[in-house]
Copies of this chain bind each other. A is one copy, B any other.
């Protein structure tokens, strides 16, 4: 619910860029970097759309929200687009990130190259487990979660990443919010409640698998009894074997 509020809130803060567009800008940016690395100076909406895996009308509309700088009859200047999108996403500054939870997943995240390469700097690794505190990891030392206020004071952290077990996540979240963190990326499989001014995004691996499971079982049902297609009249009378 504060989830919803936060989303709605964010929406009104947006300079009017739709959420769906914002979510795609990083994809365009990645595609543009690839093109730039290959030495390409200019790109059409058609080509960029293909590389980014969307259709060209969508791409053009997305870019138009940035007040984009394409040239009719030609296309977009790759370097200009990179700048425009980076600017829009706020990537002209390096954001400091605090990573909380140095377990299985936290280890991996600490070493994830994609963080640094996209302008994010891991400012601290934190954990509640005293056994883990002091451990060296990818050139950083794990500190105790109680040091969070000090960490934030040192290098104004504005993004927190939660990679703890679910039962610790809300507590960690509250601590992050308490020290002024206003953006949180949550890997713990649970819903976090936060004030309206805090944005939370969540990544849940098992949810993604369950969504695939849904589609997979649809596909399986189709191939094993293709006649199921025909009784798809309007509602259900579906396959199943009741409980």
Using CB atoms and an 8 Å cutoff, list the residues of chain A in contact with chain B: 1-4, 9-10, 12-17, 22-23, 25-27, 29-31, 49-55, 67, 80, 83, 87-91, 93, 95, 97, 104-105, 107-109, 111-112, 114-115, 117-120, 158-159, 182-185, 189-191, 193, 197, 199, 201, 203-220, 222, 232, 235-236, 238-240, 243
Contact = CB atoms under 8 A, between A and B. Distances in A.
B205 A12 contact: no
B10 A218 contact: yes
A109 B204 CA distance: 12
Nearest to A83: B243
Nearest to A238: B12
Contacts of A14: 218
Given A159-B216, A218-B13, A218-B15, A115 B206 contact: yes
A209 B243 contact: no
Nearest to A236: B67
Nearest to A239: B12
A95 to B, nearest CB: 6
A167 to B, nearest CB: 11
